[in-house]
Structure formats: C-alpha cells, structure tokens
Amino acid sequence: MNCRSITLLFAAIVSMITVTDLAARNVKIDTDNSSIIINAENGKKLSHLYYGSKISETDAANITQALGKGNLAYPDYGMITLPETAIAMIQPDGNMTLDLVVDNVSSRKENGANITTFTLKDTYYPIIVTVNYRTWQGENVMETWTEIKNNGKKNVTLTRFASGHLPIRGGDVWLTHFYGNAKNEARMESSPLEHGLKVIKNRSGVRNSRYAHSEVLLSLDGKPAEDKGRVIGAALEYNGNYKVKIDTDQSNNHYFFSGINEEDSQYILTPGETFITPPLALAWSSNGTGEISRNFHKWARKHKLANGERERKILLNSWEGVYFKVNEKEMANMMKNIADMGGELFVMDDGWFGTKYPRNNGSAGLGDWVVDTKKLPNGINGLIKEAKKNGIDFGIWIEPEMTNTKSELYEKHPEYIIKPANREPVTGRGNTQLVLDLANPKVQDIVYTVVDTLLTKYPEIDYIKWDANMDILNHGSQYLTKDNQSHLYIEYEKGLRKVLDRIRSKYPDVTIQACSAGGGRVNYGFLPWFDEYWVSDNTDALQRIYLQWGISQFFPAIGMSSHISASPNHQTHRIIPIKYRTDVAMSGRLGMEIQPDNMTDKEKEQTKKAIDEYKSIRPIVQFGDLYRLLSPYDDKGVASLMYVNDSKDKAVFYWWKTRTFANDMLPRVLMAGLDPDKNYTIRELNRIDIKPLSFEGKTYSGKFLMENGLEIPQNHKVAKQNETDWSSRVLLLEVNN
C-alpha cells in the first residue's frame, strides 16, 4: 500500500463517521460539457473526486461509492513524503513540511466566468493557499491556479508551486505532446504513459514553445482519435519556464502536474506577499481530440486572444523577400505588389534601424530603435505615405527585449543586460545578442518606451511583429539582490507582462504578432496581448501542414500566420508550385513572405485570384469550427481538414497530397461537422485545372458528404508543360436557400 492509499484510507475512516456531512461538502463545478468534483471538508485535506463529462446530481451524490475516495487535489510536501507533490516550501525555522487543510469555500462571478475558491491553511504555520477554479461555461474550459500567501513575519522559501494537479485513473492513457526546434516546431508525438516520471519542460526564460510546448493531450481510451474517446486537454498559460510532469507509480493513477518550472527558481515569499501561479486551462471531451481543439479555439477567440473576434488582414512581410536589405525603393515596390494582388497590409521586417550601429545583419543595432536614414531617407513617415498611396496599412518589426554588444544602448547601459556578476555575458545571435533584464523596472520603461515612441510618433502603424530571438543563456540579474537571484526567470516574465499591459492599455487596436525566431512564443500566456503567432520560420508548404497540424490542436486558425513563400523554399529548398503553397497558406491567417519581383506574371495573377477568394472564406476559416479529417502523421498520402461556420451553412474543405507515388491508393476523405440535413453546393477555389471537377456546382447533403466524402482526383488536369507532382484542393461548401 503506497502513501497515497494510506492517506485515503485514513480519510475513508473519517468519512464513515460523517458520511452526510462529507457528501454535503462535495463541491461540483460544471461547464456545459464537464464537471469537476472536489471534496472540501473543514480541517481535512482537499480531495479530488472526479473530472469528466458533466455529471448529474444523482450520479454526483454517490460518486465516492462508485469511484472511491479520490486523491489529494493539491498535494503538499512533507507529512507524506513519497509521492510527487504540487507545493513545497521551507519555513523560516527550516521546517520543510506543509500540512494544508480546508478552511473555507467560496464562489464569485468575474468577467462572465464563475470562480470557486478553496482556501487552505497550514495546521501550524501562517501560510494560506487558495486553490481556484474558473469556469467558462459555453466554451467548456476550466482554469485552475493557486495563490500562496505568507501571513507570517519572516520570509519563507517556495521550492515547488504547481498551477494545477489532476489524478488520472490508469488504463490505457496516452500522452500527446509537442516538441521541436527552430524551423521544425510543434511536432506531435503520442505514446502510452508507462511507469515512471514523464517530464516536459522549458528553461529558455524567453521563448517557451521553441523546443517543447506546455500544452498536452491526455487520451484516456487508448490511442488518440479525432472523433472518439475521452480526452483531457491541458494548457499552462505562462510566458516563462514551465514544467509538466506525469508520475505513473505503482498505484491506479497517473499524477499530472503543470506549472512554473521551479528548478533554479526558488521563490522567497516575504511577509504579507502572495505568490500567484499562472492558470492551467483544462478542457474535457468525450468525443476525441477534435472537440478539445474546438473548445480551446472558441475560448481563445472569445476570451484570450487579443482582438479575437476581429478579422485579420492579408499581408506581405518583407523578411524572406529582402532579409536585411531593406531600402525605400524596395519597400515601395513590395507595397505596390501586395496592393496589386489584393493584400491589405505590408510589414517591414528586420533591418530598418540603427545609425551608429546599422542593422545590416544579426549582429548589431538591437536597442537603437532609430531609423537608418541611409536605407530609408524619408523615414517611417515616407513608408506610411507610400502605404497609403497604395491603399494598404503599414506594419513594422521590433525586438524590444534585446540588445547587441554593438549598440548604443549597451554602450551606455551595460547594467541593463542579463548576466551573472563577475562574469562576461554569454551572447546569442550574431555572437553579440543579449537579453535585457526585464526584472529591472528601468528596463521595463525602456522596452515600453520603444513601442510607445514608435506608436505615438507614427500613429498609423497598424501592426507590430514583436520578435524575441534569444534564450536567457546565463543566469544572473544585475538588478536583483544577491538573495533574489533565483527570481530571475519569474521576474523577467512578470516584467514582460507589466510592459505588455501598459502597451495594450494604451494601444488596444494595434495588431501585434508574437514571433520568437519562428514559433517560440505560441502559448496561452502570450495570447492576451498578441493578435497572432508566427508558428515557424519554416515556410515550406509541405512541412507547414505538419507544423500547423500541431499548432491547431490548441490554437485557432485566426492567429496562425501562414505565408506563401518562394520556391525553391528557403529553408528546405523544396520546389513547390504556387497553387499548393497558396492552398496551404489559405488554411490559416493568409499572408505572403516572398519577393514579388521573383514571381511570374501568371503566379501573381493566380495569387491575386486566390487572395480575392480567401476574402470570401476568411470568416469561415478565422471564426469557424475546425474539423481535422486526415492527419499528415497517419502517412496515408493525403492530409485534410475543414472549417465549418457556426450556422453550418458554409464550410471550406482542404485536401493536400503529401506524397507522390504512381497508382497510389489514396483514401477518400470523409467530411465532418456539417449539418446532415442541409444541402451543400460545392465550388472549387484557387482552381488551376482546365476542366472543372466532376462535382463542381453539384449539391449534396451533409449526411452524404460525411458518410462518403468526394472522390478527389490525384492530379491536376493542366496543360502538359504545367504538370507537376503536387496536388491540392480547396472546396467551398455553401447551402443555397
């Protein structure tokens, strides 16, 4: 019998004496499709009894008789030392134990959500911990976090402080998580949970989704499927270092924890101070992983993502077109080109700033946000004027959290960078890049002022690409005291949030993209301040299908910047025709990242038509429900997904061939999410074939399409000289009344 069972056995003995009382203290917290039941009995341990689909009062009343007495809801370290725990601290007298018991339960409404708070107090020391659950009813997302208060007169040291914990009954539970690296982000990996400790963590300090994501899926009925099986989706909303851990011990459960990575980050909690953990968002589905994604997407658009209910513009970004070779003539040329193709916004990327240390490559200039007038004699105003002339908006790239050793900022203020005392700093990109110390309020002001100055000086700036191209490579703050060096990562993240709060309260309408050497900042923690995320510096259309598949598990298409780029592709050197590149980009927030001068007139014409057609499907893609139909990871030769609008009278279907073999037997893809009783007329978008598809203009019921799909030809019918080994389709389905 392990320690958990001992605790529970003890609880069971107590509960036998006070059964009615105990039942009355079972607190059930619901969304429309899920419930969590917590047992909170004054003076006793807080225990978790149930998390699953919404449960009736009758079933809830006898829950312990059916499923057992549960487990600790927020396990504390010390009095039972063997299991993994969510919280641990060292008291001023050196005592390393906590013994938290229930003191109070309360609930309140806040911004359209219900919050239930369980207040726990230590049986000896003046420590108060609240465990909170916030429910978003219709979006079916719950958030849990804790607040840890030191009510004593001396410092205590927090050594573990998870945001949330879930015991998950063992069986055939699979974990899906996302790992990768620059240009290969968000690779999905699913495997059964086996005995031992599984840890997914981040220690970058700056970009927390570059190597692994904090979002995970736990499929309780074996191998994950899109449309069947019980699934828990868990996403830690945090911009700093995190740790997700799942302990599978010899008991019946997996023990899931998620929160700030406490390694090298112990936190000194001063008298009266409260430490608030970042929220952990949870969603439940009894119908596979697809429903988890749809709930997260809805919740993101409605409550998390900045301007989540506003359509995104179609843009051209200058990066892959000119890299650092920004100049006025080229910018004007690109603006004209994107405007001619029907785009709505031009974004000037890196390379526009620096006077003493011009930004001609990645090794100089960060921190000196002054226009390089050699490249841009008429400054930003000249560019804005040009954008206006073309009837489009203007956006700009910045990387305000960073500097280079070759910069005026660093020359004047070497004390503003992150570095350990008595040592030279470790540099990043260009062997000169450094991270500014956002723990320092003066540095927070500097970063805020960079953005504020740009936006006040040039109020027409419509869009900011906010980049962050470095990890915190060495541990040390020149601002924090010697006793608080372990606060570095936590204070950096807090400082960043303070800056972002100030910017957003003054400039709520500017579109801001979270970029971090590609997809390093795709996390719910960033969403409240950012309108979109750059998911990778890899723009290869084929690899993007995989990348965006991973990102789509938790993040909505409206924020997923997806750009048409050059062929051969700059990252993979793959040659892909414009049709296929466009068909992939059209499944997210469409944009371009290319030198239009290198496109043929025919390619431009085709892109113009596609942009025009994208505008007609934009509301479906950006606000619709996602149904993933056939995964590229299944290696069936095809990947496919669709978006369906709320009223289910419009949908867009995407089909991309992912390999080419002669006489390959490709599966026919069944549609999903349609109204079985509605009739949909099919129209192909971005068509290149000489002859329309056989079902073009034909009408089928939702039921038929979901049970049979449509036979998609493997190749395009085009003139002999235009034939390639690539094939893709975008179909619009509309109910004609």
> Which parts of this chain interact with ligand GLA (CB under 6 A)?
319, 349-350, 362, 397, 467, 469, 515, 517-518, 537
What is the spatial distance between Cα 621 and Cα 312, in angstroms, rounded to a whole number? 11
Q: From the candidates 76, 368, 437, 537, which is the catalytic residue?
A: 537
Shortest spacing between CB 359 and ligand GLA, in angstroms: 9
Shortest spacing between CB 172 and ligand GLA, in angstroms: 39
721 Cβ contact list (under 8 Å, min separation 6): none
H helices of 324-472, where?
Answer: 328-340, 379-389, 408-412, 441-457
Residue with smallest beta-carbon separation from ligand GLA: 350
Shortest spacing between CB 323 and ligand GLA, in angstroms: 8
Closest to ligand GLA by CB, 249 vs 467, is 467
Shortest spacing between CB 29 and ligand GLA, in angstroms: 40
**CA-CA distances (angstroms) from residue 643 to 46, 176, 348, 614?**
42, 23, 31, 13
Query: Three-class SS string for 131-164?
Result: EEEEEECCCCEEEEEEEEEECCCCCEEEEEEEEE
CA angle 431, 435, 437 (to 5 degrees): 150
What is the spatial distance between Cα 297 and Cα 585, in angstroms, rounded to a whole number? 19
What is the spatial distance between Cα 262 and Cα 86, in angstroms, rounded to a whole number? 11
Dihedral (C-alpha) 96, 279, 528, 439: value to the nearest 10 degrees? 0
Q: From the candidates 350, 467, 471, 625, which is the catalytic residue?
A: 467
What is the spatial distance between Cα 334 and Cα 244, in angstroms, rounded to a whole number? 44
Within 19-80, strands assigned E span 26-30, 34-39, 47-53, 71-72
The yes-or-no answer on residue 59 being catalytic is no
Closest to ligand GLA by CB, 218 vs 322, is 322
Closest to ligand GLA by CB, 91 vs 405, is 405
What sign for the dihedral angle of Cα 137, 143, 144, 150?
negative
Closest to ligand GLA by CB, 25 vs 429, is 429
Q: Which residues pair with 534 in a beta bridge?
A: 561
Closest to ligand GLA by CB, 357 vs 623, is 357
Closest to ligand GLA by CB, 349 vs 491, is 349
Q: Is the peptide bond before 568 cis (omega within 30 degrees of 0)?
A: yes
Shortest spacing between CB 660 and ligand GLA, in angstroms: 30
Matching residue, tokens 């919050």: 115
Shortest spacing between CB 123 and ligand GLA, in angstroms: 51
The yes-or-no answer on residue 445 being catalytic is no
Closest to ligand GLA by CB, 259 vs 351, is 351
440 Cβ contact list (under 8 Å, min separation 6): 416, 477, 478, 479, 495
Shortest spacing between CB 180 and ligand GLA, in angstroms: 14
Closest to ligand GLA by CB, 117 vs 360, is 360
Q: 280 φ, ψ to 5°?
A: -110, 120
Closest to ligand GLA by CB, 292 vs 590, is 590
What is the spatial distance between Cα 340 and Cα 14, in angstroms, rounded to a whole number? 75
Shortest spacing between CB 324 and ligand GLA, in angstroms: 7
Asked if residue 103 lies in contact with residue 121, where contact means CB atoms within 8 angstroms, the answer is yes
Measured in whole angstroms, how far is the alpha carbon of residue 219 from the centre of its chain?
Answer: 20
What is the spatial distance between Cα 570 and Cα 434, in angstroms, rounded to a whole number? 27
What is the spatial distance between Cα 538 and Cα 624, in angstroms, rounded to a whole number? 26
Give catalytic residues, as residue numbers: 467, 537
